């Protein structure tokens, strides 16, 4: 068992059905999904990169192989403080990721599938329909 400053951890990988290491508390699941989409899909692994911060206030960007209809919503990395809650030093291997998945509306998926999202996607649909209409006349 060793401690490490949370802000110095460059990245973390979390696995489905794996438990955290624990010293003062009981081990918990490395990945904890909340929300309705979790009943349909949960990633096998999630990779999170430290994108800045200090002490216990570190920001993380997380990525996983997700179906095109899902995106990460809120993500929260939690680790066991070495001496107690709020300790900037954490026990190595004690971190877990709480997250929720957001289901994208089908209209967003349709735009993504056609040619990538842009602010003009809706206009493209309207003008595309109009040009088809003019061709018929």
Q: Which two tokens stand for residue 23?
A: 């010293």
Question: Is there a single domain that holds both residue 109 and residue 96?
Answer: no
Q: How many residues does the chain have?
A: 137
Question: Is there a single domain that holds both residue 97 and residue 71?
Answer: yes
Asked if 109 and 70 touch (Cβ cutoff 8 Å), the reply is no
The torsion angles phi and psi of 99, rounded to 5 degrees, stand at -150, 160
**Strand spans (E) along the chain:** 3-5, 11-15, 31-34, 45-54, 57-63, 70-78, 89-91, 96-103
3-state secondary structure at position 110: helix
Question: Is there a single domain that holds both residue 82 and residue 46?
Answer: yes
Which segment of 8-12, 27-31, 50-54 scores lowest on mean pLDDT?
50-54
Which segment of 23-32, 45-54, 109-118 scores lowest on mean pLDDT?
109-118
pLDDT band at 3; cut points 50, 70, 90:
very high
Q: Give the model confidence (pLDDT) of 88-104 as tens digits.
A: 999 999 999 999 999 99
Question: Is there a single domain that holds both residue 42 and residue 63?
Answer: yes
How many structural domains is the chain composed of?
A: 2
| High-pLDDT (> 90) share of the chain, % | 68
What was the pLDDT predicted at 108?
55
């Amino acid at each position: 068992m060793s401690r490490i400053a949370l802000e110095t951890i460059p990245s973390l990988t979390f696995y489905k059905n794996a438990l955290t290491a624990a010293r003062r508390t009981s081990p918990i699941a490395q990945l904890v999904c909340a929300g309705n989409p979790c009943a349909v899909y949960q990633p096998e692994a999630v990779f999170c990169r430290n994108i800045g911060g200090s002490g216990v206030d570190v920001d993380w960007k997380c990525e996983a192989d997700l179906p095109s209809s899902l995106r990460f919503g809120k993500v929260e990395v939690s680790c066991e403080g070495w001496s107690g809650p709020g300790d900037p030093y954490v026990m190595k291997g004690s971190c877990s990721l709480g997250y929720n998945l957001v289901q994208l509306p089908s209209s967003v998926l349709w735009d993504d599938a056609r040619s990538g999202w842009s602010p003009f996607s809706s206009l493209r649909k309207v003008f595309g329909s109009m040009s088809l209409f003019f061709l018929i006349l």
